[in-house]
Amino acid sequence: MGEKDRMDELERRLRAKIPGQDTGIEVRKSICAICDPTTQCGLDLSVRDGRIIKVEGSQENPHNAGTLCSKGAATRQYVYHEDRLRTPLKRIGPRGSGEFAAISWDEALDTVVANLRRLGAESGPESVVFYVGYPKQPRPFVQRLALQFGSPNFCTESSTCFTATAMAFKLVYGQMAGPDLARARCLLVWSANPFYSNTTAARHLFDAIDRGMKLIAVDPRLTPLASRADIHLQLKPGTDGALALGMAHVIIAEDLYDREFVAAHTHGFAEFRDYVAGFDPARAAQITGVPAEKIRAAARLYATAKPAALMPSAAPVGHNTNGVQNYRAVFSLIGLTGNFDVSGGNMVAPFSWLEISGAGFTTRQHEFEMPKGWADLPPRVGAARFPVWAELVDQAQAMDLPRQIRSADPYPLRGLMAFGLNHRMFPGSAGFLEAIRDLEFICDVDLFATDSARYADIVLPACSSVERSELRCYPEKYVALSQPAIAPLGESRSDTDIVFELARRLELDDPLLNPSPGGVVEPDAAFEAAMDWILEPSGMTVAQLKQHPGGMPVADPLPNPERKYRAAGFPTPTGKMEFASSLLAKHGAVLTIDALPTYRPPRHSLEASPGLAADYPFILNTGSRLPMFVHSRTYRLAWTRSLRPRPAADLNPADAARLGIRHGDEIELATPSGAIRVLANLTELGQPGVVHMYHGHAEADVNLLFDPDYLDPISGFPGFKALLCSVRRVERPPLEEGPRDADLARASGEADR
Amino acid sequence: MSHSFHLDVDRCTGCFACAVACMDQNDLETGDEPTAWRQVFTVETGTFPDAHLRYVSLACMHCEDAPCLLACPTGAIHREAGTQVVGIDADLCIGCHSCSIACPFGVPRFGADGKMQKCDLCSERLTYGLEPACVRVCPTRALRQGSPNELSQSVERRVAERLAGES
């Protein structure tokens, strides 16, 4: 081979990004944290000259087995985006103006610490709210920081996501139980589309279908999952409770329930049976819009195809003003049919780390994040308004923040220490910004110069998951403590480094957050020491995990036998599965809620508010996942954005024809709270009478259409999945994009250069 | 031996992972026009409540008797030795669009420089035993690559298993 041929070949290999010594391309392991911990895939990053040039799913990680989703595949644009913050910033203009100046880390952290101390001394540490959005990784560390600082007000984005599902499970069973997909003969997927929200489950779902597993999909939309189901129950949004009660009616009336389990292990069955007697399939059909025959067929299939598993979703059912009650009705079906804690049904697995159960080991996460009890602290934000939440959830309920900031009831809130603040997760998002405008001090730690960060006094640059270390575990009995694949961009730091730095400067008396008071322990070393303490029950150490940056199988994973309730009972007040909840009975009088999982239509619906429905005749369903976006995290990436360039609402062609709307027309969605303009995406994905809109768009924020008090009284969750709205075609040309985040990023980037 | 893609349409969920992995592998610029080398389509039939949705991911088919190759007046489109992939040499492309007219699948795209660009089946990766980026990323394993006969054989095996399971 001649010299020229060799150069041509090297050029081709470089262009194809083939790893090797001659190309200088090295594959480094990391973890994607663009979406939730239940998915977070192992990454193989091709790195050349310290820069990522390509990303692939890691084949050795059994959770994603070499695959990724469209968001993870865009990691490179996520990591190197021009909106990345590169230095700490100090606000120099009015809140929201976006006028910032770059400052040093020392000045930034000193400013934060001085303000936290001042507010703590003047109004008590509870006047400072600690908040974590995405990613979830720093949660245990920020929670410990908050409690050791003396504030009970640790809250997260889980004030609108997932927690309502966990609460419903806990009210019925005292614990959660996940679907055992590998052994199920029937899978009942309740309003989830894992093909877009949890792509690591996708190949397993198809494998199960191929081996003959029956699939029932409950979903208002004809999703790719629903389109493959044996039975698709296409209900009206927000009527999940009525559908579940209708199925329970069939299962009990046709004597298909597990009499032995119900007799020995449940509480309140007689009342439940009497209540569901009122939900015969005809009535359930009338409420839900699902034909009675389909309700019967689904109930029979789920009850008789033993074992059958139920796959819930993180939020859709809970995003309803009757969300927890609706989900309790759904989850009651598991015990009713004897599918609780059985192989192939829904199994209880020991908790491991950060939302993941069943990784085969346990940790001291709970002990770490709860160094004090709630009884030793002032009441949390939302505790009086959402007492059931306060009993079941070890966090404050952030939905009550705007009210308490304005009213100072029961005490004033003056400061906010946030990691990944996003006002667009709040119903009435503009009102949330108005509320925090009045706070005396705000610090936001973020990857990007976001619209929310504009309201902060100090903005600190966080690094992404590929620039730091974190512990991640998987139900495949696999665990990884990732190591930085590239150096942090600019002066950015990991969220946990920032927590340990704050703890040191606050001189907290806590050997786990502040291991050498007055000393100079590097944050990395403090993080690893804390992880070793947390990992103690697992028998694993940081040193051991660091040898396997791509992860390793858990040695001797904990066994997980079936039907643990037979020996241990259920961790509920009665020790049994509760068809009628003791806890809700206790709070029922104050909240006007029932011990039984009663059905109530969405507060804004044709049934509950016919006057409103006359002016706002469409059901507005928001936030159902699109494949290329996860909350607001990938809108700014050119690759994912190119797949759906402008905010668009899904509208059924029959409705569109009636309103004279064509595909791609600009339309206005309006409620009494506000209006937004978007493009019309005509699709049979949605049923007639329902409009679907994805959330978190800066140009068309659908949460502006919600009243901040449109909440479930049990969980405090917003009714994001069932509101009423009007739809009309707009003649005028599309709105120009408003001023965006780029100037903030530019200020930070210039300082970096 | 020729190489080709196979898409199991029953397993395609329209998740776009293949499209973005292709952008990452090939450093594609995306703008207002659909210039990506792999495109994902939603195909809807029927109306509520009897509507059906299917998703199809498409890129260059690397045809055995490629019409684009025959239509190309400059020889820019060629068949690569070894992998038998239908390749494009940008230096020779004059941007005449003859390939667009000839291609029955609508594959050719034209970038800002006016020259044709399309999927090369990650032929350099194939040489090193690596799957094309779109195949590697696919979360449902709907998209695969190999020799047409081997791909057909694996599809046939799954049909056989399904038939045996239903008996």
- Nearest-CA neighbor of B5 among B123, B102, B89, B116? B123
A-proximal residues of B, 131-160, CB under 8 Å: 133, 136-141, 158
Spatial distance between the Cα atoms of A304 and A256, rounded to a whole number of angstroms: 7
Note the maximum CA span of chain B. 58
Contact A639 B23 (CB under 8 A): yes
Catalogue the E-assigned strands of A99-149: 100-102, 128-132
One-letter amino acid for residue A383 of the chain: A
pLDDT confidence of B1, banded at 50, 70, 90? Answer: low
Q: Which domains does chain A have, with CATH numbers?
A: 3-79 (2.20.25.90), 89-162+354-552 (3.40.50.740), 177-347 (3.40.228.10), 610-729 (2.40.40.20)
Q: Is pLDDT of A740 > 50? A: no
Nearest to B141 among A17, A68, A203 (CB): A203
CA atoms within 13 A on the CB side of A644: 25
Phi, psi of A393 (to 5 degrees): -125, 130
Question: For B4-150, CATH number?
Answer: 3.30.70.20
Closest listed residue to residue A535, CA positions, set A478, A477, A468, A471:
A471
Tokens representing A170 are 């806990």
State ipTM: 0.95
Question: What residues does A293 pair with on adjacent strands?
Answer: none
Q: B15: which chain A residues are within 8 Å (Cβ-Cβ)? A: 69-70, 195-196, 199, 202, 627
Q: B131 to chain A nearest CA, in Å?
A: 11
Residues 6+ apart with CB under 8 A from B106: B100
Residue of B nearest to A56 (CA): B137
Quote the tokens at residue A715.
Answer: 């969980």
Rounded CA-CA distance B130/B128 in Å is 6
What CA–CA distance (Å, rounded) separates A604 from A617?
10
3-state secondary structure of A676: strand
Euclidean distance between CA atoms A644 and A71, whole angstroms: 13
Record: contact A196-B15, CB cut-off 8 A: yes
Nearest neighbour of A652 by CB, restricted to B15, B31, B48: B48
Average pLDDT score over chain A: 95
Q: Tell me how many degrees the CA angle A192-A197-A201 measures, rounded to the nearest 5.
A: 85
How distant is the Cα of A348 from the closest Cα of chain B, in angstroms?
27
DSSP A222-235: --TTGGG-SEEE-P
Which residues does chain A have within 8 Å of residue B25's beta carbon, measured at their own beta carbons? Answer: 16-17, 54
The answer on pLDDT for A738 being more than 80 is no
- Higher model confidence: residue B4 or residue A342? A342
What are the residues facing A462 on neighbouring strands?
A: A493
- Give yes or no for residue B164 having a pLDDT over 90: no
List chain A residues with CB under 8 Å of B128: 13, 16, 18
Q: What residue in A sits closest to B39 (Cα-Cα)? A: A643
A498-521 tens-digit pLDDT: 999 999 999 999 999 999 877 777
**pLDDT surpasses 90 at A592:** no
Residue A743 pLDDT greater than 90, yes or no: no
> With an 8 Å Cβ cutoff, is A12 touching chain B?
yes
Residues in B 77-136 with any Cβ partner in A closer than 8 A: 122, 124-125, 128, 130, 133, 136
Interval A48-77: pLDDT, tens: 999 999 999 999 999 999 999 999 999 999
**Hey, are the CB atoms on B16 and A70 less than 8 Å from each other?**
yes
Q: Do B15 and A210 touch (CB under 8 A)?
A: no
Predicted TM-score of the model (pTM): 0.95
**Confidence band for A732, pLDDT divided at 50, 70 and 90:** low
pLDDT tens digits, A151-201: 999 999 999 999 999 999 999 999 999 999 999 999 999 999 999 999 999
Q: Which residue of A has its CA nearest to B18?
A: A70
- What pLDDT, in 10s, does the model give residues A656-700? 999 999 999 999 999 999 999 999 999 999 999 999 999 999 999
pLDDT tens sequence across A608-617? 999 999 999 9
- Cα–Cα dist A413/A354, whole Å: 28
Nearest to B139 among A15, A67, A227 (CB): A67
Cβ A628–B16 below 8 Å, yes or no?
yes
Beta strand pairing call for A666-671 and B4-7: unpaired
Which residue shows structure tokens 């998703």?
A: B55
Q: Which of B7, B12, B20 to mutate to test the interface with A (most CBs of A within 10 A)?
A: B20
The average pLDDT across A229-234 equals: 98
Rounded distance between C-alpha atoms, residue A208 and residue A346, angstroms: 16
What are the Cα distances from residue A29, in Å, to A60, A66, A224, A468, A604? 10, 12, 32, 11, 48
Which CA distances in Å does A590 have to A268, A389, A637, A713, A714?
Answer: 21, 14, 47, 10, 11
